[in-house]
A and B are shown apart, each in its own frame.
Chain A
Amino acid sequence: MADAASGSADKSVQVKLVLLGEAAVGKSSVVLRFVSNEFQANKEPTIGAAFLTQKCRLEDRVLRYEIWDTAGQERFHSLAPMYYRNAQAAVVVYDVTKASSLEKAKTWVKELQRQANPNIVIALAGNKVDLVQPSPAAAGSSIAESEDEADDATATPGEAGADASEAESLRQVPREEAQAYAEEAGLLFFETSAKTGEGVVEVFTEIAKKIPIEHILASSRGAAGRPGTGGNRPAGQDGVNLDESQTKGKDACNC
């Protein structure tokens, strides 16, 4: 089992990551952007949870993210422990255009900090920033339309050409506020847009940097009952650099 545990450069380190957050803040879209660099305007709600993987090269090491994208609706909450069990990282997503979603994010953080793996790395991501940025493509659509769509969850009114102030008025969570909270709670903090791709990859690279890889290797070494952990898995393709996000569209479906 020595080779399995060695964690040499060509072996990937498995990192279990879970996405949590209120319904329709764009959890699945963030993952889809990360995993296959795609964006779907109307993504079906996640039932239970979806599973995706993506590799990520960090210096001499390859991390293989096993991503559990969970359902956001309140009543699925009781299923979440099944998915964050043993997770080494979590991305808690909120919607910058919806103040209540940050509140929900905070309760998730609280829960993770109390119930999950004590070494878990948590990142807070304010998604849909494209909605609150001035869009260069000025179309004739009115702001009212944008607001409508904003309620519509994953719908993306960013296409409406609102000018800076109008766009900014959609924002309900000031960056500073969320950042202050993240610092206080010891979280990584990002603002992202799954639609434009802004900030998405950074979330995962920063997590990768912060993950105690040696620790993971050590603990998988400890799990002697699991033959070949980390080592004997089907080797798959070579690890990819994050910036050349590999397209694995077919893999990315709900199930």
Chain B
Amino acid sequence: MATISTQLRNFKEPDKDEQALLFFSIPSSGSSGKGQEGKPTSDSHEKMEINAVLSLGGQSQEDPYAGRLHLIPPYLAFSSLDRKSVKFTLPLCTIRRVERLNARAGIYALSFSLWHGMKIVVQLTSLRPTADLFCELLSKALKVELQAGRMKSVKGFSKTCYSENLVLESSPVADNEREDGSLIDGGEKVGDGGAPIFHGGLGLRFKFPGDPKKLREASKTKLWTNYLRVHGRHLTLLRYPQCTRLVQVGLPNRLRGEMWETLSGSIYLRFANPGTYEQILEENKGRNNTSTEEIEKDLHRSLPEFPAYQSEEGIGALRRVLQAYSFKNPETGYCQAMNILAAAILIYMSEEQAFWLLEVICDRLLPGYYSTTMHGTLLDQRVFESLVTRCLPMIHDHFEAVDVQLSVASLPWFLSLYINSMPMVFAFRIVDCFFCMGPKVLFQVGLGQYTSLTNAILKINGEKLLQIQDDGQFIHLMRDYFSSLGDSAHPDSPDPRARAITRFQELLLVSFREFAIITDDTIYAERRRFRGEIITSIESFSKRSSIRNLKSLERFSKDQVGLIYDALFKAICVEPPPAPVPPPVTLLTTKDAVEERPETRIELRTFRVFLSEIATWARDEKVVINGFQQRVDREVAEHELIDRLFYFWDSSFRGSLSFQDLVTGLDGVMFNDLMENIEWFFNLHDKNKDGFLTKDEVLTLSESMLFIFRFEIGDAYLGAISRFMSNAFEYGDALLPQNEEDAGEDALTTPIESNQPYLNLATFRMVVLADEVLESFFETDLSASFRLEPVPLMELPATNSGFLGGIWSNIATEDNKKLFHKLSDEVGKTIGKHHVVHRPSIGRYTRIEEPRARESLLTPGMRRSPSKSSLSPTSPTAAEAPPAAAVSTTSLAPSTASTDTTLSPAEYNSLSLVQAANAALMERTPFAIDDAGDEDDSDEDDSDSEEDDGVLDEVDAFLEAHDSGVTDADRALAKDLINAEPVKQ
């Protein structure tokens, strides 16, 4: 639970192209293994669709169907207008020949000869130029396939399909089979190597579940053999209404696996990615991931009653398939229920087939069901509930009245495709329909169950379902009903045929007939409707548990920590951190430590955004007034101080921060009193934690303060910092041990290096307390600059915007907003009403005046020069002073002045520094943006200007001696800060 995921917000509603891919079960280029051949699958080809009428040649008696023909390289797909009667998805490489039919004038028809010798005719009913374009694109796409040599691969692939065998045998297969459907002998089905070359499941060796006679395997197989012979098979299967009908009566066991992969479209993945499954296993041999142990736990608990799963053969297959999946999809990994699915499909299909089918189930058919948040499951439960409300209002109202949650029962149905909810033979028939007709089947059967259950119970027991009082009784009823599915639905009927109808048959009938109105589109629309709700509830749940799992809330209340979480969550949305990784495994780590759940940790980039939400000085806020609107533009600030804070809070030195680190870090500053704040700020800048700041660090600290005060109105802070600097260096020197011993000269001959310990906490405190402005800053303002305020709600991806769903609509509206702002700004400028004001971070001083500095704490004796003089008013010639920017720049840059000057004790005094800083004050614009302030400037700041030249020299000299350790980066930063464009208008 220590991971914070924003992935749900990245959901994007499928666009029209993607919907077509979904509908035709075509693997999207992203989800295919993107083979080693590296062939661009469809990017380079153009897609197109066209009106067409499909007719099937040969011995078939199928009617022609009107519909749409889609060219989606490398596939050709067709669906009838009702989108369910007829449908096919043909890989282009199965097409052997295309001919333009020389038919009557005005008719544009193409004849396709397919690999199986099937011939289909498609009449293009669109306008001529459209049809021409379609043909042109088609022939281009075919050429690509030919050049890629994929035409040849079809033959080899088809040998892996059981249906080829079925059709090739002239004699009906049933003769070759035992009653139970297991293999009598290798016979024709054995390849040259002696092993069966077609893929099959564990059922071939361990017997399929169910009684083959009762299941009428033989006649089903016969029907399918005939159908497949005429309508193509595996890659080239054409789905006519007969196909769906045959699926609904249940697939024959030996054909089931192949039909599942054909109907679900996983066969296209297997075809397009030969060898990928083995390769994944090979590459990850002996490796473990977070899912490995979870999988091991469940291997012996997956359909344990099926004999194969009591043997190493079955267990091994299950292990390999689940592991391969978890390695290929580390984000999803392994979710309980997948073991049941995998175990079930492995009865009917080979490992490779099962692997790809699992991929299609998890990725396309049941998206998000097995993800770490299980959002897909929750969403579909919500959808199901809404469908019950709509279709069976009576039942819904009743459940509501007795406070029973529907999903209590239905959640496992959906998660395991009914496999462990009803007897296996029946569950597999639902699975047949699921692969053939899509996810809507789960909903239809669910609704059908409630209906049949009500009907059945009404007949037996009056309104029993409606008397249910709690979840428990409800579950009992469902369970009884499930276990009686094989019973006759009409046991008392005089008609033997009616008596033969099982409850299961009736269930399917009710499900598909009464709930035919529920289509895949219904499901998609409902999912769209509820997605926002589900995401919000998942996010608030994970927020609650993240907070609960904190080792310590420190001194914050739960609500406050919630606000910190919100800020963190927003930052993660804006700047996603790298995927959480489990803590590094060392030799010493025990097995249990490996299990420790990965934790979301943010990096510096994300931290900047986070801090900008909380600390007022970590963002640049501009108040824009343009006559139409007043708005606040907020940008994330960047400064060395922010980076410093990041590493300061990274107590475990991992280069990243956890939620706990942030809470603890904020705790370290937000509850501080004056002394604690001074110490905190000192420690923040004491990089090596030796209890001393070096001279460099004193300068950095000053820069940090300059950064914090950059938008304050007036000069108070600037003055304070300049005084701080002068005092710091003055006292620092004064308090150096050697200075006290040898009065002056020695110390000066051995000037302390800029990176040597220089200023201790006590001195720092003294310097700070010497100044009213800084004192008040440290007393309250520093702590108060960290504010836990409600983060504006992040907009969820719009759910009602159709194709423009998801993040795109978000961006679109953001863009629109920006556009609007820009426009109104322009208008504002032309009518002269456009103002931009930086919002100050502290905002203590709303006027320009500077509070008087406090009397120094140092006794006059300790002082080498009267520092008070720095404040003495002098002639107001400030206007003629050299540009102060130059002063401040040089003050932080190496100068060329000779070192001799430095050594003169007379000039090496605080006065010079203060004067320099005060001179810098005149360049106020970077720090104070206030038009009205201009006149006041001169009154206050030009005190020292008459000494300008001398001051400059002295500053240069001083800095020459003490400033050499400043890194270029620091310097550049300072320069940038100081030269920052004044923000006027």
Contacts and interface: CB of A to CB of B under 8 A. Distances in A.
A225 B401 contact: yes
Contacts of B632: none
A66 B470 CA distance: 10
A239 to B, nearest CB: 16
B472 interface: yes
Given A42-B300, A45-B301, A82-B408, A100 B472 contact: no
Interface string A109-123: 011001100000000
Interface stretch (A72-80, A126-134, A163-171): A72-80
B781 interface: no
Q: Is the interface of B mostly helix, strand, loop or mixed?
A: helix
A199 interface: no
A76 B470 CA distance: 22
Nearest to B472: A66
Q: Which of B296, B336, B374, B415 has the most CB of A within 10 A?
A: B336
A152 B339 CA distance: 15
Q: Which of B297, B299, B538, B545 has the most CB of A within 10 A?
A: B297
Interface residues of B, number: 58
B842 interface: no
B469 interface: yes
A51 B592 contact: no
A108 B403 CA distance: 25
Nearest to B411: A48
Given A42-B304, A78-B373, A73 B472 contact: no
A138 to B, nearest CB: 25
Contacts of A36: none
A84 to B, nearest CB: 12
B454 interface: no
B749 to A, nearest CB: 63
Contacts of A250: 483
Interface in A37-96: 42-49, 51, 53, 66, 71, 73-79, 81-83
A71 B412 CA distance: 11
B545 A47 contact: no
Interface string A225-255: 1101100110000000000000000110111
B663 interface: no
B336 A47 contact: yes
B304 A44 contact: yes
Contacts of B401: 225
B548 A110 contact: yes
A44 B301 contact: yes
Interface string B291-323: 001101111111110000000000000000000
B479 interface: yes
Contacts of A81: 541
B848 to A, nearest CB: 52
Interface in B412-427: 412, 415-416, 420-421
A79 B411 contact: yes
A71 B300 contact: no
B237 to A, nearest CB: 32
A229 B473 CA distance: 12
A73 B336 contact: yes
A82 B472 contact: no
B340 A44 contact: yes
A152 B405 contact: no
Contact of B472 (A51, A172, A229): A51
Nearest to B343: A44
B10 interface: no
Contact of A99 (B403, B478, B592): B592
A82 B407 contact: yes
A255 B482 contact: yes
Given A75-B335, A82-B407, A253-B479, A153 B297 contact: yes
B412 A254 contact: yes
B1 A47 contact: no
A146 interface: no
B402 interface: yes
A203 interface: no
Contacts of A49: 408, 412
B847 interface: no
A225 B475 CA distance: 21
A99 B372 CA distance: 23
Contact of A76 (B339, B374, B544): B374
Contact of B420 (A14, A47, A111, A225): A47
B549 interface: yes
Contact of A45 (B1, B339, B373, B597): B339
A225 B403 CA distance: 10
B476 interface: yes
A82 to B, nearest CB: 6
B640 to A, nearest CB: 39
A46 B478 CA distance: 17
A100 B595 contact: yes
Contacts of A229: 469
19 contacts: A14-B470, A44-B420, A45-B336, A47-B412, A47-B416, A48-B415, A77-B1, A82-B407, A82-B408, A98-B592, A100-B592, A100-B596, A107-B549, A111-B545, A229-B469, A233-B469, A253-B479, A255-B475, A255-B478
Interface of B: 1, 293-294, 296-304, 335-337, 339-340, 370-374, 378, 401-403, 405, 407-409, 411-412, 415-416, 420-421, 469-473, 475-476, 478-479, 482-483, 538, 541-542, 544-545, 548-549, 592, 595-597
Given A23-B297, A232-B469, A255-B479, 9 more contacts: A45-B301, A48-B411, A66-B472, A73-B336, A75-B372, A79-B374, A107-B549, A152-B297, A255-B478
